[in-house]
Chain A
Amino acid sequence: MSIAAPQGAPAAAPVPPEPGPLPVNYLNNGHSIWSWLFTVDHKRIGILYLVSISIFFVAGGIAAGIVRLNLLQSDGAIVSEDAYNRAFTAHGVMMLFFFLIPAVPAVFGNFFIPMMIGTKDLAFPKLNLASWYVFMLGAALAIWSVLVGGIDTGWTLYPPYSTRASQSNVIPGVLGVFISGFSSIMTGLNIMVTIHKMRAPGMTWSRLPLFVWSLYATSLIQLLATPVVAITLVLLMVERAWGVGIFDPSLGGDPLLFQHMFWFYSHPAVYIMILPGMGVISEVLTCFSRKNIFGYHAVAWSSMGIAVVGFLLWAHHMFVAGISFYAALLFSLLSMLVAVPSAIKVFNWTATLYRGSISFQAPMLFSIGFVVLFIIGGLTGLYLATLGTDIHLHDTYFVVAHFHFVMVGGMVMGYFAGLHYWWPKMTGRMYSDFWSRFAACVIVVGFFFTFIPQFVIGYHGMPRRYPNYPQEFQFFNVMSTAGAGVLGVGYLMPAVYLTLSLINGKRATANPWSATGLEWVSQSPPPIFNFDESKMPVVVCGPYEYSLGVDQMGRTLPDAPTGAPAELHEGTAADGHGPTSPAKQES
Chain B
Amino acid sequence: MSAKHNTPALKHHFEDLGQQHACERLGIWMFLATEILFFGGIFGAYTVYRYLYPHEFEVASSHLNRTIATINTIFLITSSLTMTLAIRAAKLGNKGELIRWLFVTAALATAFMVMKGFEYAEDFHEHYVPGRMFQDELKSARDEIAGKSEEDAKKHQFKPERQKWAKELAVQVNHKHVDPGKVQLFLCFYYIMTAIHGIHIIVGIGCILWVAWEAWRGTIPPENYSTVEVVSLYWHLVDAIWLFLMPLLYLTGAGYKH
Contact = CB atoms under 8 A, between A and B. Distances in A.
Interface of A: 119-125, 185, 189-190, 192-194, 196-198, 223-228, 230-232, 234-235, 238, 242-246, 251-254, 257, 261, 264, 529
A252 B181 contact: yes
If over half of B's interface residues share one DSSP class (helix, strand or loop), that class is named, otherwise mixed; here it is helix
Contact of A235 (B12, B14, B35, B42): B42
A274 B48 CA distance: 32
B34 A226 contact: yes
Contacts of B184: 244-245, 251-252
A37 B193 CA distance: 36
Interface of B: 12-14, 19, 22-23, 26-27, 30-31, 33-35, 37-42, 44-45, 48-49, 52-53, 130-131, 179, 181-182, 184-185, 188, 192, 196
B30 to A, nearest CB: 5
Given A198-B19, A242-B131, A254-B48, A228 B38 contact: yes
Contacts of B37: 224-225, 227-228
B41 A257 contact: no
25 contacts: A119-B13, A120-B13, A121-B12, A123-B23, A124-B27, A189-B30, A193-B26, A193-B30, A198-B19, A227-B35, A228-B37, A230-B41, A231-B41, A232-B41, A234-B192, A238-B188, A242-B130, A243-B131, A245-B184, A252-B49, A252-B53, A252-B182, A254-B52, A257-B48, A529-B13
Given A230-B41, A234-B42, A252-B184, 8 more contacts: A189-B27, A193-B27, A197-B22, A224-B37, A227-B37, A231-B39, A243-B131, A254-B48
A92 to B, nearest CB: 22
A235 B19 CA distance: 39
A197 B19 contact: yes
Contacts of B53: 252
Given A238-B188, A243-B131, A252 B22 contact: no
A227 B237 CA distance: 16
B34 A252 contact: no
B19 A228 contact: no
A242 B135 CA distance: 13
Contacts of B12: 120-121, 529
B52 A234 contact: no
Contacts of B31: 189
B33 A223 contact: yes
B130 A257 contact: no
Contacts of A198: 14, 19, 23
A120 B15 CA distance: 9
Nearest to B184: A244
Nearest to B196: A234
Closest 9 A-B residue pairs measured CB to CB? A227-B38, A231-B41, A121-B13, A227-B37, A120-B13, A123-B23, A252-B181, A228-B41, A252-B182
A217 B55 CA distance: 43
B41 to A, nearest CB: 4
B231 to A, nearest CB: 15
Contacts of A224: 33-34, 37
B142 to A, nearest CB: 18
Contact of A246 (B26, B40, B44, B185): B185
B26 A196 contact: yes
A246 B38 contact: no
Given A123-B27, A197-B26, A234-B196, A244 B38 contact: no
Given A251-B181, A251-B185, A254-B52, A261 B26 contact: no
Contacts of A120: 12-13
B192 A125 contact: no
Contacts of A124: 23, 27
Contacts of A230: 38, 41
B192 A235 contact: yes
B59 to A, nearest CB: 14
Nearest to A239: B188
Q: Which of A234, A252, A261 has the most CB of B within 10 A?
A: A252
B45 to A, nearest CB: 6
Contacts of B34: 185, 189, 223-224, 226-227
B220 to A, nearest CB: 18
Contacts of B42: 231, 234-235
A569 B40 CA distance: 55
Contacts of B38: 227-228, 230-231
B19 A246 contact: no
Contacts of A119: 13
A23 to B, nearest CB: 20
Nearest to B193: A231
Contacts of B192: 234-235, 238
B45 A235 contact: yes
Contacts of B27: 123-124, 189-190, 193
A354 B181 CA distance: 65
A253 B19 CA distance: 49
Contacts of A235: 42, 45, 192
Contacts of B13: 119-122, 125, 529
A244 B192 CA distance: 12
Nearest to B186: A252
Q: Which of B31, B34, B52, B182 has the most CB of A within 10 A?
A: B34
B19 to A, nearest CB: 6
B53 to A, nearest CB: 7
Q: Which of B33, B35, B39 has the most CB of A within 10 A?
A: B33
Contact of A223 (B30, B49, B130, B179): B30
Contacts of A245: 181, 184-185, 188
Contacts of B179: 252
A520 B42 CA distance: 46
B45 A244 contact: no
B45 A261 contact: yes
A238 B131 CA distance: 12
B41 A244 contact: no
Nearest to A264: B41
B33 A246 contact: no
Contacts of A242: 130-131
B216 to A, nearest CB: 21
A122 B11 CA distance: 12
Given A120-B13, A235-B42, A261-B44, A244 B185 contact: yes
A125 B14 CA distance: 11
Given A189-B31, A189-B34, A193-B30, A227 B41 contact: yes
Contact of A252 (B19, B45, B185): B185
Nearest to B130: A244
A120 B38 CA distance: 32
A197 to B, nearest CB: 5
B23 A193 contact: yes
A257 B45 contact: yes
A479 B95 CA distance: 73
Nearest to B26: A193
A535 to B, nearest CB: 12
Nearest to B182: A252
Contacts of B30: 189, 192-193, 223
B58 to A, nearest CB: 15
Nearest to A530: B13
B22 to A, nearest CB: 5
A580 B13 CA distance: 22
Q: Which of A120, A123, A190, A235 has the most CB of B within 10 A?
A: A123
